[in-house]
Homo-oligomer: A and B are copies of this chain.
């Protein structure tokens, strides 16, 4: 499958997550040479693991592949604003740039709520670029939650 952009690829992971009955969020980790190192969608239900958010799974897989705890020079694309758990993991992994789609006023932890990257206790903050493919990312989530309520 060809993707026009890394965010398209993350959206694909979000759609796959929706197909598994998971909250449709997708993430893609890009190596310094521009190649895709890992990609994931949410799997909290399937894995019975409240930490199995797309970002955490992509980071864990990338670190395992490289045999290291840190991903300096790597960039992360996510369809939704990361929650505080994922924002802190992004910081620990020393991710260089974070690109995300839809804002998450209800559960986000980057531009909302805990604003994890803004405190002195956050020892590394990535460059943050928001609003990429925002409409598609938000539409996926809206459709998922509407279907569950229906």
Contacts and interface: CB of A to CB of B under 8 A. Distances in A.
Interface size class of A (residues with CB under 8 A): 35 or more
B85 A69 contact: no
A63 interface: yes
A89 B53 CA distance: 10
Given A84-B84, A84-B88, A113 B107 contact: no
Q: How many copies of this chain does the complex contain?
A: 2
Interface string A108-150: 1100111110011111000000000000000000000000000
A123 B107 CA distance: 8
Interface of A: 44-45, 48-51, 56, 59-60, 63-64, 66-70, 83-89, 92-93, 105-109, 112-116, 119-123
